[in-house]
Amino acid sequence: MTSNRNLWEITVLSLLQGRPRHPYEMQKLIRERKKDEFLKLKRGSLYHAIERLRKAGLIESVETRREGRRPERTVYRLTDAGGRALVDWLRELLARPGRETLPFFAALSFLPNLTPRDALEQLTLRAKRLEAEIAGLDAALSELVPRIGRLVLLEEEYARDLRRAEREWVLKVVEDLREGRLAWDPEQLRRWADLARPGEPPAAD
């Protein structure tokens, strides 16, 4: 569930966390909430993701409705298995660094689906793993640069410095979570989503 191809699935699960929705509403929310920054917003991709999740038992259809002269639209909801999968996938994306940045970007986008304590645990683990990667790259560069020169190792140097910057940022967020400066109530956010009109995100405080 960590590849870019599967970011569609985690997006659908997150959008259905609040309440049942039909695909057109999901697509509208993706645009309104700027999720298209990490998704290629193609209608077919959304429907393919919905079908994969339905076959996996992570979502299910609850009704088919017609609004005015518009075509019939199937409404989907999250299953219990889908709710557990969403949490597990978000934890993995938060805790495990990778070469690609989009999965982490997506996980941060859907962070309110986790509790602050859970997010703290996963980001703390990520910081530790980043520290280990940085140490490994430092060791490799220290050994190889004197032998073969810096020029052919610039990409490794770049990768190390990116991880340093990411770790520094993650540690700042960890500290804010630990001190309560960054906090939210997932259940309250879901209640807001239930009260919001279809296609509209809940108002922020």
Say yes or no to pLDDT of 169 above 70: yes
pLDDT tier, 42 (very low <50, low <70, confident <90, very high otherwise): low
Asked if pLDDT for residue 2 goes beyond 50, the answer is no
What letter does residue 57 receive in the DSSP assignment? T
Task: Look at residue 79 and give its three-state secondary structure.
Answer: coil
| Beta bridge partners of residue 173, listed in sequence order | none
Which of 62-66's residues contact partners 24+ apart within 8 Å by CB, and which partners?
62/20, 65/22
pLDDT for residue 174 is more than 80: yes
**What CATH number does domain 4-93 carry, 3.30.450.40, 3.50.50.60, 3.40.50.720, 1.10.10.10?**
1.10.10.10
pLDDT of residue 68: 64
Cβ contacts of residue 198 below 8 Å, gap of 6+? 21, 25
Residue ranges covered by each domain of the chain: 4-93, 115-179
List, for residues 11-25, the tens digit of each pLDDT value. 999 999 988 999 989
